[in-house]
């Protein structure tokens, strides 16, 4: 799966996401690609779907937005967790094998065999909460 050649629209959408630190909505991505010839939502949503399949981007379910993966070279990860600043929108993608295991156990205790998890922690980053000097 690793060395999939991206199509034109997939490359365009990925480039937009990679050029931003903050998450973007699908329609915001579309706006930024009108010059490149994109006109309609399906063109973006289809690219987003594939990029998510390839593990190159992630959807933040709690804010209906998309971000480029910050761990391109980690391979496909089971669980991806995000720390999201509600003030500046900075996003950190957290990968932690021990946490994956914890989440898996939590699911099994609840009688569920987990396939995919959404973990999105909202709060204030150090910069926004004045914790940085």
Q: Note whether 62 binds its own copies by CB under 8 A.
A: yes
Partner interacting with residue 19 (select from Zn ion, DNA, its own copies, none; CB below 5-8 Å by kind):
none
Q: Which residues, 6+ apart, have CB-to-CB distance to 61 below 8 Å?
A: 118, 120
Is the CB of 12 or the CB of 100 nearer to DNA? 12
Angle between helices 41-53 and 8-18 (to 10 degrees): 80
3-state secondary structure (DSSP) of residue 50: helix
Among residues 7, 72, 77, the alpha carbon closest in space to that of 46 is found at 7
8-state DSSP, 30:
H
Q: Rounded CA gap, 25 and 33, in Å?
A: 13
The entry of its own copies, DNA, Zn ion, none near residue 88 (CB within 5 to 8 angstroms by kind) is: Zn ion
Segment interacting with its own copies, rule: CB under 8 A, options 2-10, 23-31, 46-54, 116-124: 116-124
Applying CB under 8 A, the residues found at the interface with its own copies are 61-62, 81, 83-86, 92, 94, 96, 99, 102-103, 106-107, 109-126, 129, 131
Applying CB under 5 A, the residues found at the interface with Zn ion are 69, 71, 85, 87-88, 90, 125, 128
């Amino acid at each position: 799966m690793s060395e999939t050649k991206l199509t034109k629209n997939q490359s365009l959408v990925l480039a937009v996401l990679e050029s931003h630190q903050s998450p973007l909505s699908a329609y915001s991505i579309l706006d930024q690609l009108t010059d490149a010839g994109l006109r309609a939502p399906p063109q973006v949503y289809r690219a987003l779907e594939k990029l998510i399949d390839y593990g190159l981007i992630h959807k933040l379910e709690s804010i209906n937005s998309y971000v480029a993966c910050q761990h391109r070279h980690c391979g496909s990860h089971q669980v991806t967790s995000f720390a999201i600043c509600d003030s500046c929108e900075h996003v950190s993608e957290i990968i932690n094998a021990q946490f994956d295991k914890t989440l898996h156990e939590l699911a099994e205790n609840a009688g569920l065999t987990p396939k995919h998890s959404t973990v999105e922690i909202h709060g204030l980053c150090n910069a926004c909460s004045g914790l940085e000097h």
